[in-house]
Amino acid sequence: MLDPSEQDPLNVTLTPPSVSRRDLLGAAATSALLPWASSVQAAPPAVELEGVELPETTTAYGQKLVLNGAGVRKRGYFKADVTALYLPEKRTTPDAIYKLNGIRRIQLNILREFTSSTITRIFLADFKQSATEEEFKRLIGPIGQIGAAYANVKRVSKGDVVNLDWVPGVGWMATHNGKSLTGDGGNTLSINDELAFQVYLRMYIGQNAPEDLRNGLLGLTRLPRAGD
């Protein structure tokens, strides 16, 4: 029986002080953990290659894209970058990706330093290998624009991110660490020639692309989860 001094004016029996303190301490502990729990739940799922975390979804030019796949691109014995392919919907064949409507993104997560001259030389060699002779001649203009844009970059370093996007109605766009690449005259790069971008995609998922890179980008290779 509680002492009358421990009853409230409305004649409702109060909880013993020891119980109240225990409940309050439990509630406080739970509240303290809530921000931490929310942040864990809110963290987007990601995969990880060569220490590079790739979110499974991203937003480009207002459109949500999903990670179709990723792989490591090599130059000789060296690992050049972690390449990721983001699409509006997942696809597992090159033809389906070429025909897909909406934004398509090739993301290069740089693993070592390259000068602009090396970048340009690699690009030209790969592009020429991926295009037919007729296509290469037809695309001399866009190829020159890309070469000029790469020349303006000067160099890329480990940790840099280069996004190369096809944006319907606008064209082929590119950014380096979030900053738009510019061509001749300092104008933002925008090449409204879908064939040029499709040839570029062939460099990564076409028949001449390295098999391990192609399979990774097509989602045919299981990717390690970040934190595993």
Task: Give the pairing of strands 78-87 and 63-75.
Answer: antiparallel
Every domain of the chain and the residues it spans: 4-42, 48-217
> Is 173 a residue whose pLDDT tops 50?
yes
Residues 6+ apart with CB under 8 A from 103: 60, 61, 63, 65, 88, 165, 166, 167, 168
pLDDT, tens digit, for every residue of 126-156? Answer: 999 999 999 999 999 999 999 889 888 889 9
pLDDT, tens digit, for every residue of 17-65? Answer: 444 455 544 444 444 444 444 444 455 688 999 999 999 999 999 999 9
Residue-averaged pLDDT of the chain: 84
pTM above 0.85, yes or no: no
Three-state SS string across 188-221, please?
A: ECCECCHHHHHHHHHHHHCCCCCHHHHHHHCCCC
CATH topology of domain 48-217: Chalcone isomerase (3.50.70)
Q: Please answer whether residues 179 and 156 qualify as being in contact, where contact means their C-beta atoms are separated by less than 8 angstroms.
A: no
Residues 6+ apart with CB under 8 A from 121: none
Q: Please answer whether residues 193 and 169 qualify as being in contact, where contact means their C-beta atoms are separated by less than 8 angstroms.
A: no
Compute how many other C-beta atoms are within 10 angstroms of the C-beta atom of residue 227: 9
Residues β-bridged to residue 59: 64
| Rounded Cα gap, residues 178 and 161, in angstroms | 8
- Please, which pLDDT band fits residue 71 given cuts at 50, 70 and 90? very high
